[in-house]
């Protein structure tokens, strides 16, 4: 399963999904993180450049390009919630603390 989570410089879950600077993409196999990549997405800067639809399209493209199955986040707005649902992706909310632990918890749910 491939999951993604917004991550801080300290390795914690960034509470700002749509405004995250960096997203970790993790592959979890048999309850273990098999691959972990942190990608600078600059959504913190790009969020307000253009319309909300343009930003949601940017996020959707990222999710597709990385073959994400499940999004792990602390919170997402209503528009992002609809977009993730339309993509038929699983969404795990209220994630906090260590990002790797949050990913493993979400993978097991």
pLDDT digits (tens, 9 = 90+) for 77-99: 998 999 999 999 999 999 999 99
Task: Return mean pLDDT, the chain.
Answer: 94
Domain layout of the chain by residue ranges: 2-108
pLDDT tier for residue 44 given thresholds of 50, 70 and 90 = confident
pLDDT tier for residue 26 given thresholds of 50, 70 and 90 = very high
Choosing among 3.30.420.130, 3.40.640.10, 3.40.50.720, 2.60.40.10, the CATH entry for 2-108 is 3.30.420.130
pLDDT tier for residue 52 given thresholds of 50, 70 and 90 = confident
Q: Residue 107 is encoded by which pair of tokens? A: 């993978």
Judge residue 44's burial from the number of C-beta atoms within 10 Å of its C-beta, 0-12 exposed, 13-18 middle, 19 or more buried: middle
Q: Can you list the alpha helix ranges (DSSP code H) found in the chain?
A: 43-46, 52-65, 78-86, 99-108
Q: What is the pTM of this model?
A: 0.92
């Amino acid at each position: 399963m491939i999951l993604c989570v917004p991550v801080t410089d300290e390795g914690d879950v960034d509470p700002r999904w749509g405004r995250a600077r960096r997203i970790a993409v993790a592959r979890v196999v048999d309850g273990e993180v098999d691959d972990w990549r942190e990608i600078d997405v600059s959504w913190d800067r790009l969020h307000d450049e253009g319309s909300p639809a343009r930003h949601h399209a940017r996020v959707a493209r990222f999710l597709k390009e990385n073959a994400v199955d499940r999004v792990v986040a602390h919170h997402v707005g209503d528009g992002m919630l609809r977009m993730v649902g339309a993509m038929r992706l699983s969404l795990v909310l209220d994630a906090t603390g260590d990002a790797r632990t949050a990913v493993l918890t979400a993978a097991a749910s």
